[in-house]
Amino acid sequence: MMIRLNYLINSLNIFLIFIYFVFININLLKKEFEYLLVFFIAINLFIKLYNWFSFNIKKKQHLSFTLNYVFFNDNFIKVSILILSIVTPIYMIFQKDSLVIDLFIEKLSFLLVLVFSLIGFYLEFFILESTSDK
């Protein structure tokens, strides 16, 4: 159940980041939407931490040798997921006004945030697998 909830919230976050990117491009962005997005990302963080401490998380066995060689251990993947899916979007949302100088750079930055979130989603749901400890 928690694994499905994690998948659902993570998918919702990626969709909301995409909508955020669209709103930036058409100049309809509201502060309330930013806070809603940060709220869902924070919920996603707590669900991820619960899943990672409650279930046995390991790399899938049928990955190619190259992927196994690049990703050294499970903790490296978990840190990558946290940085790409949680830290980067929240940081960019809160620091947007002080970091971004130009409108084009703002749009490009949030396109990169969307791409990073997609990479984090891929790492979590296609590289790692959750198994029950029981």
Cβ contacts of 70 within 8 Å, gap of 6 or more: none
Burial bucket for residue 41 (CB in 10 Å: 0-12, 13-18, 19+): buried
**Chain-wide mean pLDDT for the chain?**
80
Name the DSSP letter for residue 87. I
* pLDDT (mean) for 95-106: 78
**How large is the average pLDDT for residues 71-78?**
71
Query: Taking the domains of the chain in order of start, what are their residue ranges?
Result: 2-132
Query: In the prediction, which pLDDT does 15 show?
Result: 92
Has this prediction a pTM greater than 0.75? no
Residues 21-49 have pLDDT tens digits of 888 888 888 888 888 889 988 988 898 88
Cross-strand partners of 130: 57
Neighbours of 6 (CB within 10 A): 20
